[in-house]
Structure 1
């Protein structure tokens, strides 16, 4: 059981990540491949990806068993994008490397690390460099060809969470994050493979929707790291089909017009004001307001007043139109 302890200040500092985290998706997808844990959702991806996996990935699997504890620093590198995360991984502080390797040895007493891991212990740049290069190569082979589709699936989840937040507040979001979620202020209880307490202590919590996370949510083992809760999303069954969304996008433009199609895509990326949507769609605020009114009248967009602004979210009907009405299944 994972128990996350909130304060009132933490509730004010909850955030939903704007998109998938490349390093978390890298780690969890790697475990999907190693377990052959595919099912309906990941079957095509696994079949296409397995032959492309570079041999260098062994450097990552040495520190990330398919079940159990993986060193936190593999996913702790912060950055606005994958390239920034890779550079941050190369610059991981030695004290964090030592702390995580000690924890790895404690939790995985029967696993032997390869000889090159001595470079990690001594702080040689070649140690972290090997991991960064392996991460880069694996991402290029296994994730980059699918990244736009992965990002679209995560955006759908963020949109639904944003709508839940507007309708029911953080209580509703936290209690519906996962089938095992039990929210009893000030503690969120979740199924977890080990017994773990996470005390936020005013730092807030980043909710990170994950495409490849399948069963239980996951979090850092080190309580000193910035608090993150990685949780599974729902998926379109045919998400991996080449060109998924392309034909639908063209048809949508013909159906509602290019500006309204652009606005509908923009609002599907997350709750936003009229001005935000206008900037994303490349139009003026008055023009965006007029088209959003039409989308709202067609039940594709919902609008809510929040303080001095009107915030817009995509409806389930709008999502269905964007995604070709594919069924969603929980995994």
Structure 2
């Protein structure tokens, strides 16, 4: 149980923020907790995610999530969400500023691949729900004040002046004086409650109102991709890269055009080159990639 004793100044400084990273970690915690069936409303989402995220991505991430030994994951759990960082890439890039080892950079790539498979197709639905939640709470905060807003949070979060209590896997009691409390609404709060302190800021997740009945509907783009024969054959990431290589491009150019990590693109290009679907040519200090004859033929047959 978390018990936060808030002074008046801390009450007046409460704010709300969204965090794609916290949603990602919460959803991973659901996988780590439930090896089989999961409670509503996550069942259809988890069924989709299990089919969409490759085992070589999911396996290491779940192992690290359960052990919580990776330094980068520790930094991620200690991260304080900020309204200036509204995408997963922005949050991961902020955490990268501390400097990563090659192993940690690989973990970042795994998180990004997991996001694109499990969260990205649903993000419009999730983000809309969370933005509505923030607007609703902000109105209560402006009209009724912070205590009225805290009293209505629900999700087993309770306010009785001066103490805010919430379920947690550890027993924590803390006096919060002249500090800022950041509340993060979460759709995937069923996985874990996020809580972190970085003086003078404290951040805590809570269950968004829509979480109990939110229909996690995948974007139309995801439905189209499920009919993509090329993606079914070689994977969505490699199919996207093949379509980007009708003209020669460097790894950096492909990564920027598709919004993927450069290391992820490099791994896919290595496989496509080995399969002789893509050729590789060094010109000066740069390496260019383009579809080979067999790659063009495959794209012509299955790419529409």
Q: TM-score range by the shorter chain?
A: 0.5 to 0.7
Distance in 1 (CA, whole Å) between partners of 2:92 and 2:67 is 22
Deviation at 1:210, TM superposition (A): 0.4
* SS of equivalent to 2:170: coil
Corresponding position of 1:202: 178
Distance in 1 (CA, whole Å) between partners of 2:189 and 2:165 is 18
Structure 1 residues 232 and 182, CA, compared in 2 at 3 Å: closer, same or farther? closer
Structure 1 residues 16 and 37, CA, compared in 2 at 3 Å: closer, same or farther? farther
* Equivalent pair of 1:77/1:86 in contact (CA under 8 Å): no
Corresponding position of 1:85: 91
Q: Deviations over 1:261-281 (max 9, x none)?
A: xxxxxxxxxxxxxxxxxxxxx
Deviation at 1:8, TM superposition (A): 2.0
Corresponding position of 1:169: 145
Query: How big is the alpha-carbon RMSD for the aligned residues of Structure 1 and Structure 2?
Result: 3.1
TM-score by length of 1: 0.56
Q: Which residues of structure 2 form unaligned runs of 5+?
A: 221-304
Corresponding position of 1:7: 7
Distance in 1 (CA, whole Å) between partners of 2:200 and 2:51 is 35
* SS of equivalent to 2:216: coil
Distance in 2 (CA, whole Å) between partners of 1:15 and 1:37 is 35
* Equivalent pair of 2:61/2:110 in contact (CA under 8 Å): yes
Corresponding position of 1:140: 116
Distance in 1 (CA, whole Å) between partners of 2:93 and 2:27 is 21
Corresponding position of 2:293: none
Distance in 1 (CA, whole Å) between partners of 2:148 and 2:193 is 17
Distance in 2 (CA, whole Å) between partners of 1:243 and 1:62 is 29
Deviation at 1:187, TM superposition (A): 2.2
* SS of equivalent to 1:206: strand
* Equivalent pair of 1:210/1:233 in contact (CA under 8 Å): yes
Distance in 1 (CA, whole Å) between partners of 2:162 and 2:9 is 11
| Residue 20 of structure 2, aligned match among 10, 17, 22 | 22
Deviation at 1:63, TM superposition (A): 3.3
Distance in 2 (CA, whole Å) between partners of 1:225 and 1:201 is 9
Q: Deviations over 1:173-202 (max 9, x none)?
A: 112223433323332122222211244332
Corresponding position of 1:214: 190
Structure 1 residues 182 and 42, CA, compared in 2 at 3 Å: closer, same or farther? closer
Distance in 2 (CA, whole Å) between partners of 1:24 and 1:38 is 19
Q: Which residues of structure 1 form unaligned runs of 5+?
A: 94-123, 245-331
Query: How many aligned positions are there?
Result: 211
Structure 1 residues 154 and 38, CA, compared in 2 at 3 Å: closer, same or farther? farther
Deviation at 1:59, TM superposition (A): 3.9
